[in-house]
Chain A
Amino acid sequence: MAATLRRFHGLRLLKSAPALSLQQAKNLSSAGSWASGNKKLIGALGAITGGVGALIYALEQSVQASGGEVHSPAQLWNHKGLFDALDHQSVRRGYEVYKQVCSACHSMQYIAYRNLVGVTHTEAEAKAEAEQITVKDGPDDTGNYYTRPGKLSDYFPSPYPNEEAARAANNGAYPPDLSYIVSARKGGEDYIFSLLTGYHDAPAGVVLREGQYFNPYFPGGAISMAQVLYNEVIEYEDGTPPTQSQLAKDVATFLKWTSEPEHDDRKQLLIKVIGILGFLTVISYYIKRHKWSSLKSRKIVFVPKEK
C-alpha cells in the first residue's frame, strides 16, 4: 500500500520536470534574441564608424592631391626619432649659413644672442657674435639716442625697418620672419630643405614675372626668392665641405631649432616620463591586484535547505 503511494508520487515528480526545462528553454531563446539584436546594433555602428572614417581620410587625401606644388620627401634628419636630439653641430653651421646668407633679406626677431648660449655657442663666443652688430639705444640722461655694440640680450638684427620697406626692396614680395618658419610651414624642415635645393627651370607654358624664379616646392611655383645656396657660397668654420645640400640641411636644422628651442628638453622629458610612469604603473597594478584579490578569488556555493 505504502509502496504504491510512493510510486505514484514519483510519477508526478517526473511529469513536472519537462515543464521546468521548457521554461528554461523559453528564457534562453528570449535572451538569445536580445543578444542577437544587440550584436546587429553594434555591427551597424561599427560599419558606420568605419565608413565615416574612410570618408574623412579620402577627403583629406583629395585635398592634398589637388595642391599646386610638389610634396617634400621625408629626409632622414638626426632629430627625427622619438628620442633623438638635434644635431647641435649642424645647428651651429646653420647659424653660420643664416648669418652670412639668409640674414641679408630675412629677419629673426624672436631669437636673441643669449639663446645661443649653451646650444651652439659658449657665452664668450655668443658675446663676440653680439658685439659685431650695432644697436640703437637710449635715451641717455641727456635725452639723446645713441648707438652701441650689441650684447647678449639683444635680438638678431632685421635687414629692413618694416614690412613696407621689405616689400619695396623685393619687388612686392615680403621675406617672412624666419623665427618660427619651420612650425609655420606644412612639411617643416623637409619643406625648407626641398625649397632651398629644388630650384628648376620653368616648364613650358609657365610665364614668370620679372624678379621671379621657378621652384616646384613653392605653392604656385613662382617664387620671388632666387636660389641662394650653391656649392661653397660660404666657408664653414669647422671645415665641413660646404656643398649645396649640406648648407640646406644645416640651415634647415638651425631653423628647426629656432622654431622649437625646447625640442631637446621635450625629448628628454619623454624619457623621464616613460621611466616614472612605468614604475608607477607597476605599483598601481600590484595594489589593484591586492585590493581585488578577495573579490576575484571568491567562490559561490549553493547549499539548499534541508527538506
Chain B
Amino acid sequence: MAFNSRVLVPVLKADDDEKELVDPQAALREKCQAKGHIASLYNKYQECNDRVNGKSKTTETCMEELFDFVAELDHCVAHSLFSKLK
C-alpha cells in the first residue's frame, strides 16, 4: 500500500513591515504632469521624438521641447516639494 505522497509544507509569509519608499518628488512630478499645459508640452515632446526617430537623415533634435517640458514640470514641483521633505 503506497504511502500518502501528499506532504503539507508550511508556507511562511514574508513580513510586510518594510514598505516601499515613495519619493515625494516623483509623486509630485506625476501629479504635475497631469496638468493641462504640462501635459500638452509632454505631448509635443513625444511628437517630436516620434518625428525625429521616424526619419533617418534629419539633423533635428528634441532638446528644446524637452527643456520646455522639464522647466515647467520642475517649476510646478518646486512649489511644494520642500514642505514634504524633512
Chain A interface mostly: loop
Report how many residues on chain A are interfacial, defined by Cβ distance under 8 Å.
Answer: 31
* Residues of B in contact with A, size category: 20 to 34
Complex CA distance for A246 and B26, rounded to whole angstroms = 12
B59 is an interface residue with CB less than 8 A from chain A? yes
Evaluate contact between B25 and A245: CB separation under 8 angstroms: yes
| A75 in contact with B67 given A204-B48, A204-B49, A243-B21 (CB within 8 Å) | no
Set of chain A residues within 8 Å of B52, measured between Cβ atoms: 204-205
Report the bound CA distance from A266 to B23 in whole Å. Answer: 34
Query: B78 on the interface (CB 8 Å rule)?
Result: yes
A249–B85 touching, CB < 8 Å: yes
Contact residues of B: prevailing secondary structure:
helix
Tell me how many residue pairs across A and B have CB atoms closer than 8 Å: 84
**B86 and A246 form a contact (CB under 8 A):** yes
Within 8 A of A (CB), among B45-59: 45, 48-53, 58-59
A73 within 8 A of B: yes
> Which residue of the partner chain, among A206, A243, A246, contacts B63 with CB atoms under 8 Å?
A206
Let me know if B63 and A249 touch, CB within 8 A. Answer: no
Q: List 26 A-B contacts (CB under 8 A).
A: A70-B67, A70-B71, A73-B74, A73-B75, A73-B78, A76-B83, A200-B70, A203-B61, A203-B65, A204-B48, A204-B61, A205-B52, A205-B58, A205-B61, A231-B21, A231-B23, A232-B21, A243-B85, A244-B23, A244-B25, A245-B23, A245-B25, A245-B81, A245-B85, A246-B85, A246-B86
